[in-house]
Structure 1
């Protein structure tokens, strides 16, 4: 018979005594412990999710898309990505997740999925399309000109990146057209703020806004008005040289514009004529655009 060490036996006796004390010398005490355990009554059952073939999950997702069940399609493609991670099916699933969310109007989710695709597969043949979905998801959320234009800025960045990274892709032409629309939106916002300051005779603040339009958004429809408003603001401040330059540049580039007629009449009322000062920032800004256009034409 094995020898039982007296000290070890004593320890076992103490542990048993403590356990019984904790349980109230019986099961009643253990029931009391269960009463304060929030998970005591929960029952867990192991569920085995059957493997669905990748091609079947993908087909199910396409079927949901055809039925315009975009949420259901997203679920199928997300399941495909999870169950077949790091496979070519996963690559397709992430892109289709972005597309399903985009078609369903869940643009933030589409942006997230598009970014995930570009991070995982930056060199794939579908990277241009993922970038297009990313840009369009921002573009679709551009608000009216009276609101904050943060989304417009993000759309412009994403669209520009698309054209720069994938200039020969089938999406480049559409991106270029939407870049122009987005730039026009941003210029419109600057004009709205500039007019606000001009009406309140805060001429320096107004000039800063119109200057942004002339410097950054010269190819938009707002540049004609911006030049005329600059003439107004500079005349009000007595900076006649800049006012004359604004009118002269306006007349040179847009001779038939009604805004030029307004600027011309404004100068005449002060006994002045349009006259371009080559050292003016306005003159330099437009010379820069002419030079850039010339270089572009030569490259083509």
Structure 2
């Protein structure tokens, strides 16, 4: 109950902070004054007021000396206000208006970052979530945006971070495919599961999910009675990932369903199959956190 009350209070505080009114700025307020106030909102992390201040600055002084900088800072303010779509729109606008600006690589980077965190919200800070089980359309979009940044600006100061995030995104997308393959195994769609495993092995090399992809292939082929393909998958798995939990020290496949047949528990055998029926395993070789 204590945690529920804390959450409710936190939500109330968030709602109040989101309704802050932008202080009245006179018609004679100078560009420097508005810009300084907007910077103050950024420093105090009041991103909602920062957004409105930068928008006001651009509306009053569209050709002023702070116009381009305000457009860049507006991207950042939208992003930190969890307005990811608005951040992307602001970045696209800056790229369209200032394609030759020295800071245009920042706009490309922020487009990728906005897509990268688009599925995050304030609750993600406190409630652990497995992003590999969520919709991956934003992850694919982020990967494409970061790839564009690296292609256009390989020497950008944001390139290293973009490349690191692309590696994380590849790992996420590969794991997402394994989650789907595991679902197919549970549903008895063994060919579909094996095909998903093969897709990971062929398209996501050098990701941790490859080992699970091989295990999925082996299990799917066993259940389809495709013993030759199963043996090939097991051999590759045992050679390249000898510590994978689905193979023993002799390189043999460990599962309720192996090349030697169904492995029943003593409870299942004792009850003539009424209890504890054998099930295909769910392959997830990620380390526990």
Q: What TM-score do the two structures reach when normalised by structure 2?
A: 0.70
2:74 equivalent to 1:97: yes
Distance 1:92 1:241 in 2: 63
**SS in structure 2 of the partner of residue 124 of structure 1:** coil
Partners of 1:169 and 1:260 in 2: how far apart?
Answer: 44
1:52 partner SS? coil
Change (3 A) 1:234 1:88: farther
Counterpart in the other structure of 1:64: 41
Structure 1 residue matching 2:177: 3-state secondary structure: helix
What is the alpha-carbon distance in structure 2 between the residues aligned to residue 199 and residue 87 of structure 1? 62
8 Å CA contact retained: 1:82, 1:90:
no
Equivalence map 1:221-300=2 (5 Å): 221-261=208-248, 264-266=251-253, 270=259
Q: 2:98 aligns with which of 78, 96, 121?
A: 121
What is the aligned partner in structure 1 of residue 157 from structure 2? 170
Deviation, 1:225, is: 0.9
Structure 1 residues not aligned, in runs of 5+: 1-48, 272-300
Task: Compare CA radii of gyration and give the structure with the larger one.
Answer: 1
| 2:176 aligned with 1:189 | yes
How far residue 86 of structure 1 moved from its aligned partner, in angstroms, is 4.6
Name 1:40's counterpart in structure 2. none
CA distance in 1, matches of 2:134, 2:49: 34
Matching residue within 136, 140, 143 for 1:149: 136
TM-score (norm 1): 0.67
Structure 2 unpaired stretches of 5+: 1-25, 121-130, 261-289
Measured in 1, the distance between the counterparts of 2:230 and 2:195 equals: 14
Aligned pair partner of 1:179 in 138, 142, 166: 166
- Structure 1 residue 195 displacement after superposition: 0.7
Instruction: Determine if contact 1:231/1:263 at 8 Å carries over to the other structure.
Output: no
Q: 2:85 corresponds to which residue?
A: 108
Aligned Cα RMSD in Å?
2.4
Matched, 1:209 2:196: yes
Give the corresponding residue for 1:132.
109
Question: How far does residue 197 in structure 1 lie from its aligned partner after superposition?
Answer: 0.8
Structure 1 residue 260, shift from structure 2 partner: 4.2
CA deviation map 1:189-219 (0-9, x unaligned): 1111111111222112112221221122222
Cα pair distance change 1:148/1:66, threshold 3 Å: same
Q: Normalized per residue, which structure has more helix?
A: 1
Measure, in 2, the Cα distance between the counterparts of 1:100 and 1:177. Answer: 24
Confirm or deny: 8 A CA contact 1:191 1:226 kept in the other structure.
yes
Q: 1:87 to 1:210 in 2, by over 3 A?
A: farther
Residues 1:159 and 2:146 are matched in the alignment: yes
